[in-house]
Amino acid sequence: MGKTVTEKLLASHLVEGNLQKGEEIGIRIDQTLTQDATGTMAYLEFEATGIPRVQTELSVCYVDHNLVQSDFRNADDHRFLQSVARKYGLYFSPPGNGISHQVHLERFGVPGKTLLGSDSHTPTGGGLGMLAIGAGGLDVAMAMAGKPFYLVMPKVFGIKLTGSLPDWVSARDVLLEILRQLSVKGGVGYIMEYFGPGVKELSVTDRASITNFGAELGATTSVFPADENTRKFLESQGRGDLWTPLNADEDAQYDEVIEIDMSTLEPLIACPSSPDNVVKVSEVAGKPVAQVLVGSCSNSSLRDLMVVAKVLHREQVHADVSFEINPGSRQVLENITDLGEMLTLIRAGARVHQAGCLGCIGMGQAPPTGTISLRTFPRNFPGRSGTVNDQVYLCSPEVAIASAIKGEITDPRVLGEYPDLNLPEKYLLGDQRIEPPLVSGEEVEIIRGPNITPFPEFEPLPESWHGKVLLKVGDNITTDHIMPAGAKILPLRSNIPAISEYVYNSVDLEFLQRSREALTDGLGGMVVGGENYGQGSSREHAALAPRYLGVGIKLVKSFARIHKANLINFGILPLTFEDPADYDALQQDAEVEITGIRDAIASGSELLTLLLGGKPVKARLEVSERHREILLAGGLLNWARKAG
Ligand code: MIC
Ligand code: SF4
């Protein structure tokens, strides 16, 4: 039987297990990336392994998230990361150099390789034909230490692309349409693989926008074949020698298939406050906008900024709109300047910022109260922009610029003829600030600012577990709800005691107090949730910080992949309701008792009985043998120490 691109990539990297859907497999990781907000913790964890140098073919340490330096914390972390990169043999991409995913695509991605990144948008690399997966920092630390990455062998969701995109409709609309059809949990348990005659109509940066935004489907990752367009892209980056073709076989079988005829698409937009809340732009046109942001790892390539610049040749930004551009990389900035378009942007009224994540993670750029903000970003979860009750819409650069000009949500097709973009054949590379690895890091001293506190120690799982329900939440809870980000909280990422004070802050301000009281009473904490619990980011702080506050169990209807893995890594039991109806009966503050929990887990039992408020409730523990050992040890670091 023919193979999909996914199966070929998995087969060529398989080191443990069999390629059977639903079974745990271990794959070799060729490349890793970290960004600063997850990276500081990932390197503290790597340090704990005692391995003197990264064991991958290539590892890159990026600084792109925590760019606002309102005190010493972020700046200290940047220096820590630079010294770590020098010590352990990594490339270092400094602040201002660009968003990890964009820079990695331009300068490091290679078709046919695996990439593990401590950021949920790592699948951007799938646009190049890589198997690029987002994971928690600890998993990435393990991969840097040369260990396999373990995952449940996913099913393959084929997306057949036909036709070509009409003018003013772009790659973002393809994924918005898929989100509209499948929702934010439609990709859970799958790798999304693109095939069909429409693939060749998309450039690598278009494909990368799609695989990037595909993270919002909850998918393990998304992947495109590597073809002539891939070769052209690599050549434009002076890396043509790294091209290898990678295609699905003619008779490859997918577990599910949908077809998207791109020629029938029209401009789409995701309304507040979920990426799958998608409607046609024409349905919401006319609503006034106060802010329009073009940027993020989803849509900030040279192509995206050129669309904006070319439109601004004939128009000006509306007086009531703050129109801001966050370029994806130094390379994008250099090229747009070289093409003379920086002047166009500035003259037309754009605020051009340094290359980085910025407002996408609430690092500045909060919108004014009660106004609409339009963004070419991948996420619009409530409050993520930094403004309470925000109204963030997600759209393409085409919709963004049309709306910035008119001052209201606008279908870009009113702008007339689609501009000719004239993209260069060869790019200025813009990588002069990327530091290559040192031959030896032995002499390098790691620079540790006072913000970096030691990694907390956790106890192994007790014989019996006694605690209470600290919080009950609904469906689609994001890691932004669990562990908010933004300019105030992100600088605390390397200080677990400090950051844990913000756990569930936007949901329930009393959560901290309740968890502290339970700790004082010697009780464990349990959180109860609905479907797709923990969707969104890869941040392991959404597991680590609750664990620090004594949370030992999460009992939900279903989990998002990365969050479940992070819970296990930090020794929190990820349980699901055997009977979802039990969810309704459960109340906050209910007492929880599980006797003989260690024995049950060690014996491989998939069903545990919990006494919840005195009533027996069945819960599932669907994890591998290795995960059971990790849970018993109280987390992956404890387990790895024991295993030696
Ligand atoms: C995000 O887009 O939510 C982030 C910020 O990039 C996160 C990582 C983090 O929280 O540091 C992600 O996507 O994994
Ligand atoms: Fe950065 Fe936003 Fe991309 Fe996350 S989604 S990596 S915050 S640009």
CA distances from 93 to 90, 334, 342, 420 (A): 10, 16, 23, 32
Query: Counting atoms of ligand 2 from 1, which one is nearest the CA of 37?
Result: 7
What are the pLDDT digits (tens) for 233-287? 999 999 999 999 999 999 999 999 999 999 999 999 999 999 999 999 999 999 9
| Pocket of ligand 2, beta carbon within 6 A | 65, 99, 119, 121, 296-297, 357, 360-361, 377-379
101 belongs to the catalytic site: no
- Rounded CA-CA distance 600/608 in Å is 7
CB 64 near ligand 1, within 6 Å: no
| Amino acid at position 358, single letter | L
Nearest CA to ligand 1 atom 3: 537
Which pLDDT score is estimated for 401?
A: 98
Residue 65 designated active-site = yes
Query: Which of the residue ranges 96-105, 375-384, 449-458, 463-472 would you say has the lowest mean pLDDT?
Result: 449-458
Q: What are phi and psi of 154, to 5 degrees?
A: -80, 165
Q: What angle do CA 489, 124, 246 make, to 5 degrees?
A: 160
Closest Cα to atom 7, ligand 2: which residue? 361
pTM of the shown model: 0.98
Residues 6+ apart with CB under 8 A from 348: 312, 315, 316, 317
Secondary structure (3-state) at 113: coil
Cα-based distances in Å from 369 to 289, 390, 480, 636: 12, 7, 20, 43
pLDDT value at residue 644? 60
Task: Please report the DSSP string for 3-58 in residue order.
Answer: --HHHHHHHHHEEES---TTSEEEE---EEEE-HHHHHHHHHHHHHHT-SS--SSE
Q: Which atom in ligand 1 lies closest to the alpha carbon of residue 37?
A: 11
Cβ neighbours of residue 68 under 8 Å, at least 6 residues apart?
Answer: 74, 363, 364, 487
Residue 379: active-site member: yes
Residue 455 has pLDDT above 90, yes or no: no
Residue-level pLDDT at 529: 98
Is residue 207 predicted with pLDDT exceeding 90?
yes
Q: What are phi and psi of 634, to 5 degrees?
A: 90, 15
Backbone angles phi, psi at 314, to 5 degrees: -110, -5
**What pLDDT does 484 receive?**
97
Active site residue 119: yes
CA–chain centroid gap for 512, Å, is 26
For the stretch 589-604, pLDDT in tens is 999 999 999 999 999 9
Give the number of the atom of ligand 1 that is nearest the alpha carbon of residue 480: 3
Nearest ligand by distance to the CA of 42: 1
Q: Is 538 in the pocket of ligand 1 (CB under 6 A)?
A: yes
Non-local CB neighbours of 432 within 8 Å, separated by 6+ positions: none
Task: Count CA atoms closer than 13 A to 17's CA, side-chain side.
Answer: 23
Active site residue 318: no
Question: Which spans in 503-551 are helix H?
Answer: 511-520, 541-548
pLDDT tens figures, 564-587: 999 999 999 999 999 999 999 999
Mutate to test the pocket of ligand 2, among 304, 360, 379, 562 (most ligand atoms within 8 A of CB): 360
What mean pLDDT, rounded, does the chain reach?
A: 97
